[in-house]
Amino acid sequence: MCGIGGQYCYDGKIPDQDLLSRMSARLTHRGPDGEGIRICGSVGLVHRRLAIIDLSEDGLQPMTNEDGTLWLVFNGEIYNYVELREILVRSGHRFASHSDTEVILHAYEEWGVGCVQQFNGMWALALWDGRQQRLFCARDRFGIKPFYYTQVDDTFLFASEIKALLAHPKVGRRPHDETLGTYLAWGVQDHSRRTMFDGIFQIPPGHWMMVTPHGPEAPYRYWELKVNPEVKGSEPDDAVAAGLLDRLRSATSLHLRSDVPVGTCLSGGIDSSTLTALINNLIREEAPTSVGSRQKTFSGVFGDMRFDESRYIDEIAAATGVDAYKTVPSPDTLWDDIGDLVYMQDEPFGSLSIYAQYCVMRLAKENVKVVLDGQGADELLGGYLAYQGSYIRGLVRRYRWLTALREVAGSLRHHGGFFRSALSQLAVRKKRRDLLKIRSQAMHRYDGSLDEVLARELTSTNLPALLHYEDRNSMAFSIESRVPYLDVRLVEYIAALPLDQKIREGVTKFSLRRAIRGIIPETVRCRMDKMGFVTPEEVWMGGVLRPFMLEILRSPAFASRQYWDADAVAQDYLAFLEGKSQYSPEIWRIACTELWLRKFFDGRGDRA
């Protein structure tokens, strides 16, 4: 896990050493264990090291092959590097280190750009091929690790974070209005190559891109997820559950490979609780040294019982005997941290749940260097309650009337309150979009049948943004966050399952719940609510955060923006404070955008 960056001069000039140093400095939090800068003709490569595997100097980057024709900077982990190394050794390759970085170099020598198909992990990499005078850039299948780029003054610049690209004075001078508008109106981000900075792009998940002396070629999709549209399958439920559990256990074991201590994020929900229980079993069966004899878990809790999951966290801790660490995110500390949080995220974020995760990562930093988290399970297994509507709609379109009626009955039985509140929220959100002056592309996340929605959520409309938040929150504290549910073997297995293994009679994550019977406590396994690392955002916004919000909404800077009707926004917020209108996330998104504009455009991306 690291920070990477670089410059490719198309005109053959030597890269700007001072620029590369400034880019490196802005990525220090991603790699406090070391810095490397290498200039190879017209290419300059930057690396900030967070040492996780092979802590010796043999793992330093930029890393080269035996004859110096290839140079690599890499951010992430190739979890199956041990197995790939054995294959490559049998093919005649010789290794000088025990790092996964060197495996990438030899894999490229062996398979060329097809090497990415061999990797099981998370990565963003840039590999300079001196023989062919090309820069090979690639990102993992889900975009767990970031890769941003831009072009300016006949050069190609890339980095792990946007703020590093802003080290060049001509880059990111203004927002990209359409992308910003889509976020403000619909709460969607990281759904395309474009970012909220004009002229700055990202390699999409599951793509690689080649840069030559003629410039960057169009990104090439090397992996595409297919979600099974069938409702029923021939395989018995128990067999499906056993297959899922075997793959999840294997993925978890693989994600524990580390030469530094590993802990677990525990929210009290099904996904993180399952990981915690599986890791505890692996301690007895495989004794991973990265975990030790006693697992450490990290959780965010609250005094307000409507948002607190302490009961479930405590049940898992009691059942597994873990060392459970807890933090209490507070609105009082939020405003002390908000400047750093906005800076670290690079782009505005959709809710204050991000702050709970930020606090959990800060807590974890005191004890471990790597954490495992349950990200991705909801999108894979239909965990969000709004997916129920997509499932029922798809059943009706396929004339599966009886199954649709069963799903309606099950959804109302288990989640009736959610659907009643969702209907009123839709009206509130539609009204608040009228506060905006900026144009946006309509983004209806739940349109289509369940298979279409899940494929889209995994690759564009939801998961990439959540991974963005998690990467920045963890790296803000030099923590590597790993997500075993996105192991490619597990993902492809679940994607191929029929839809009723994901949702059945209103029960979400049906096959996972069946698989973990007897592994986690029944009170957790049978939970029907969905929380995760949330905050009492509505309570905070109507209480402690009120003076800060009013300062933002009444400021001359806020009034000067072209993106909203400032007076109408202020009146709308006052109506919420007076109990005349419901809360909805649009209120926070507008305020967060103002803070972002101040940080990255009024202040040009300074951390202080």
Q: Give the end of a domain, one of 486, 505, 534.
A: 534
603 within some domain? no
Is residue 106 located within the same domain as residue 254? no
Residues 519-534 as b/e (b if ≥16 CB within 10 A, e otherwise) read bbbeebbebeebebbb
Q: What is the DSSP letter of 324?
A: E
Cα(44)–Cα(35) distance, integer angstroms: 13
Cα(226)–Cα(467) distance, integer angstroms: 20
602 within some domain? no
Is residue 32 located within the same domain as residue 173? yes
Helix (H) or strand (E) holding 490: helix 488-495
Q: Give the end of a domain, one of 484, 504, 534.
A: 534
408 within some domain? no
Tell me the residue ranges of DSSP E strands in 96-234. 121-129, 134-139, 148-152, 155-159, 201-202, 207-212, 215-216, 220-221
pTM over 0.85: yes
Q: Compute CA distances 261 → 51, 317, 371, whole Å.
A: 11, 19, 9
In the chain, pLDDT over 90 holds for what percent of residues? 90
Work out the average pLDDT over 132-160.
97
Please report how the helices 387-397 and 401-433 are oriented relative to each other, as an axis angle in degrees rounded to 10: 130
In the chain, pLDDT over 70 holds for what percent of residues? 98
Tens-digit pLDDT profile for residues 507-565: 999 999 999 999 999 999 999 876 555 678 999 999 999 999 999 999 999 999 999 99
Is residue 66 located within the same domain as residue 92? yes
Residue 587 burial (C-beta neighbours within 10 Å; 0-12, 13-18, 19+): buried
Tell me what pLDDT residue 529 has. 79
Give the CATH number of the domain where residue 283 resides: 3.40.50.620
Is residue 125 located within the same domain as residue 15? yes
23 within some domain? yes
Is residue 306 located within the same domain as residue 368? yes
Per-residue pLDDT at 1 exceeds 70:
no
Is residue 244 located within the same domain as residue 170? no
Domain count, the chain: 2
Q: Which domain holds residue 243?
A: 237-385+424-534
551 within some domain? no
Per-residue pLDDT at 109 exceeds 60:
yes
- Of 441 and 40, the one with more pLDDT: 40
Tell me what pLDDT residue 171 has. 97
What does the DSSP assignment read for 252-293?
A: HHHHT--SS-EEEE--SSHHHHHHHHHHHHHHHHT--TTT-S
Contact of 80 with 123, CB cutoff 8 Å: no
Q: Could you give the residue ranges of the DSSP H alpha helices within 26-151?
A: 81-90, 100-111
Q: Give the end of a domain, one of 496, 519, 534.
A: 534
Is residue 186 located within the same domain as residue 271? no
The H helix count followed by the E strand count for the chain is: 23, 20
Tell me what pLDDT residue 531 has. 57
Is residue 246 located within the same domain as residue 205? no
Give the residue among 324, 412, 316, 403 at the shortest CA–CA distance from 360. Answer: 324
Is residue 216 located within the same domain as residue 245? no
Is residue 357 located within the same domain as residue 463? yes
Q: What is the DSSP letter of 201?
A: E
Tens-digit pLDDT profile for residues 457-490: 999 999 999 999 999 999 999 999 999 999 999 9
- Among the listed ranges 211-220, 377-386, 436-445, which one has the minimum average pLDDT value? 436-445
Tens-digit pLDDT profile for residues 272-316: 999 999 999 999 999 999 999 999 999 999 987 777 899 999 999
**580: helix, strand or coil:** coil
Tell me what pLDDT residue 605 has. 61
Cα angle: 357, vertex 359, 360; to 5 degrees: 65
Give the CATH number of the domain where residue 148 resides: 3.60.20.10
545 within some domain? no
Tens-digit pLDDT profile for residues 36-70: 999 999 999 999 999 998 888 888 999 999 999 99
Per-residue pLDDT at 78 exceeds 90:
yes
β-strand partners of 480: 370
For residue 38, give the amino acid letter: R
Which residues are catalytically annotated?
A: 2
Tell me what pLDDT residue 239 has. 98
Cα(165)–Cα(156) distance, integer angstroms: 10
Q: How many CB atoms lie within 10 A of CB 424?
A: 11
Tell me what pLDDT residue 427 has. 87
Please provide the size of the chain in residues.
608
Give the residue among 462, 345, 481 at the shortest CA–CA distance from 50. Answer: 481
74 within some domain? yes
569 within some domain? no
